[in-house]
Structure 1
Amino acid sequence: MKKVTKILGVFMLVFFAVTALSSCSRDDDPTNNDFFAGTYRGSVSYNDGGSTNINTNDGSVFVTKIASGTKYNFAFSNSIPDLNGIEFEQQGDHTLVMIGSNGTSYIRIDNNELKILFIKDGKTWTANCTR
């Protein structure tokens, strides 16, 4: 009986592990998930208005949706400072646009594409990435 219980326990563990891993796919849509994490790859840049100027076509941005459900964090590659706690609203079925978007600050994200032009305190972040 102990052997059957042990085999059943291992089977259940493997089943839940496979289910959890398969649910995190590139098709996840940041607008429809309570939790979202995804990596977008493409061109990223950062300029602090002084001596730091980073620009690469081979960068990445790791996007996570935080507990509030409307705020996101953006972790850039290439030693670019992160953008955290940016608030979004849904536009259409599958697109999020930053609240307070204007001509100098704009972030748009969907399940395939991330576009960022964010200017704050003389610092500029940009990204044109896909998943």
Structure 2
Amino acid sequence: MKNLMKISAALLLISVIFAACSKKDDPADKDLFVGTYKGTVDYKAEGVSKHSDDGHVRVVKTGNNYYFVFSDDIPNLTGVEFEKGENSVISIGSDEAKYIKVTANSLKIAYTKDGAIWTADCTR
């Protein structure tokens, strides 16, 4: 009985995730969103430089928080908070510069944090 409940819960979670993954869905319109964007990804930090023209970024949104999971051993950006109903974050401050725009079809990132720089120019 416990196994049946675990399997049912897992199937429900999978169906919710796949429903959230439609290429037509705009992340700003959903509280739960998962999508993979493919294109150029870069990362630069002290002594480290990574680049791929065939990279990808998996975007996971829960509420107003976004998580960007990069390919090619690029560190992830986690817990980036967007304003509710918006699909971009722009903040240029004293020690950090942030630009992220994610729509149903594209992802653009130019993000600086703690001396590291992430960039992405991707589509899905």
* Shorter-chain TM-score above 0.5: yes
Q: TM-score, normalised by structure 1?
A: 0.73
1:84-117 deviation line (CA, Å, top 9, x unaligned): 00011257xxx5111x522832111111010000
Q: TM-score, normalised by structure 2?
A: 0.77
Q: Establish whether residue 30 from structure 1 lines up as the match of residue 30 from structure 2.
A: no
* Residue pair 2:64, 2:82 contacting (<8 A) in 1 also: yes
What does 1:61-100 correspond to in 2, within 5 Å?
61-66=57-62, 69-89=63-83, 96-98=87-89
Higher strand share: 2
* Residue pair 2:43, 2:51 contacting (<8 A) in 1 also: yes
* Residue pair 1:107, 1:114 contacting (<8 A) in 2 also: yes
CA-CA distance at 1:49 after TM superposition: 2.3
CA-CA distance at 1:121 after TM superposition: 1.1
- The residue that corresponds to 1:122 in the other structure is 115
Moved over 6 A (4+): none
- The residue that corresponds to 2:49 in the other structure is 53
- Letter of the structure 2 residue corresponding to residue 120 of structure 1: K
* Residue pair 1:39, 1:63 contacting (<8 A) in 2 also: yes
Q: Distance in 2 between matches of 1:44 and 1:36?
A: 21
* Residue pair 1:101, 1:107 contacting (<8 A) in 2 also: no
Q: Distance in 2 between matches of 1:113 and 1:90?
A: 19
Q: Distance in 2 between matches of 1:90 and 1:129?
A: 23
Structure having the higher Rg? 1
CA-CA distance at 1:43 after TM superposition: 0.2
Q: Distance in 1 between matches of 2:31 and 2:101?
A: 18
